[in-house]
Amino acid sequence: MYKLLALNIDGTILKNNGRLQRETKEAVEYVKRKGVYVTLMTSRNLLAARKVAKALKLDSELITFQGAIIGKSLKEKIFEALIPEERTFNIVQVLENYNCNIRLMHERYSIGNRNKVQKNLVVKTVLSSGDPFFYPTQFVDSLGNILMDEPVAVPKIDVYFANERERNEAMSVLAKAFPTIDMIMHPNEKMEIVPQGVSKLAGLQRLGNHLGISLKEMVVIGDGLDDMPAIEAVGLGVAMGNAPAEVKKAADWVTRSNEQLGVAYMIKEHFRKQLRPEFLRKLKIKR
């Protein structure tokens, strides 16, 4: 019996055009009626995740910024981990030696460097932030200069490198210089820098402790490499049909792609036989 369902956002519940389908909304409502706690786990900021949650009629704690912030809103957090101001500045100083686009992901806004951004990277970084109305993005010539005057602590730093060689070199330098950060790698030379101990899996564990739900009582549906540790650890790990081969291999079950309503299909297939906890308790009392 599963008590919690965690859904990734991009590439999982959203189609490639960013739309949320009616069938997905209905499936989430269906599983909620089964007494299952539904949450989102995402690399997105909390404001963007909250907007998706609202469309799904979820009032649950959300795992955002790769698990660096967990909460219902910016005023209602159960966990927060930040990269301190001085460390953020020092990391930026290292990264500005490479041909990359750096984005400091504050809880309310993001700041990116303009002078080293390739056109395709600009599109990727702006689109990945969610709704710019809720989460404004500013580009500056030098992040280092900005941080000298206005220091900031952030839950996450996104970095888009020009090539894999530079990303690997930067990763090696950062790992030696800053042992209190973790780096999450993605396709297309993207890197996410988070406080040590932050991940989607760690976020699920923290949320589970808060709710009294174990990992084995959870279902995770995701499509990315950053979803894989959570998919492997929970009671039922599900990979989307559009996920990379290694994510599918790690999963207990593979559903259809996000373009083929994979989340809705999986929920109907796996949760239709699950009974509400209240009904099961009544059965036990009668026996």
Higher-confidence residue of 105 and 282: namely 105
Task: Check if the beta carbon of residue 78 is closer than 8 Å to that of residue 210.
Answer: yes
Phi/psi at 136 (5° precision):
-65, 145
CB 5 within 8 A of CB 37: yes
Residue reference for tokens 């530079």 = 166
How far is it, in rounded angstroms, from Cα 272 to Cα 43?
Answer: 30
SS3 at position 38: strand
Burial track 67-88 (b if 16+ CB lie within 10 A, e otherwise) = bbbbbbeeeebebebbbeeebb
- Residue 283 is predicted with a pLDDT of 44
Q: Is 182:194 a contact under the CB 8 Å cutoff?
A: yes
**Which tens digit of pLDDT belongs to each residue from 74-88?**
999 999 999 999 999
Does residue 275 carry a pLDDT above 70? no
Other Cβ atoms within 10 Å of 249 Cβ, number:
12
Contact partners, residue 1, CB within 8 Å, separation at least 6: 217, 274, 277, 280
| Helix or strand (DSSP H, E) at 195 | strand 190-195
Report the distance separating Cα 215 and Cα 198, nearest Å. Answer: 16
Q: Which residues pair with residue 253 across a beta bridge?
A: 238
What pLDDT was estimated at residue 1?
86
Tens-digit pLDDT profile for residues 160-197: 998 999 999 999 999 999 999 999 999 889 999 999 99
pLDDT tens readout for residues 211-250:
999 999 999 999 999 999 999 999 999 999 999 999 999 9
Helix, strand, coil in percent for the chain, rounding step 5: 45, 25, 35
**Average per-residue pLDDT for the chain:** 90
Q: Name the residue with tokens 């206005």.
A: 150
- The lowest-confidence range among 66-75, 129-138, 176-185, 200-209 is 129-138
pLDDT number for residue 118:
56
Q: Give me the percent of the chain exceeding a pLDDT of 90.
A: 81
Alpha helices (runs of H) in 118-276, residue ranges in sequence order: 119-127, 143-149, 164-177, 200-211, 228-233, 245-250, 262-271
- Report the DSSP pairing between strands 253-254 and 236-239: parallel
The C-alpha torsion from 254 through 258 and 262 to 263, rounded to 10°, is: 110
**Rounded to 5 degrees, what angle do the CA atoms 97, 195, 9 make?**
100
pLDDT at residue 116 tops 60 = no
Average pLDDT over residues 60-68: 98
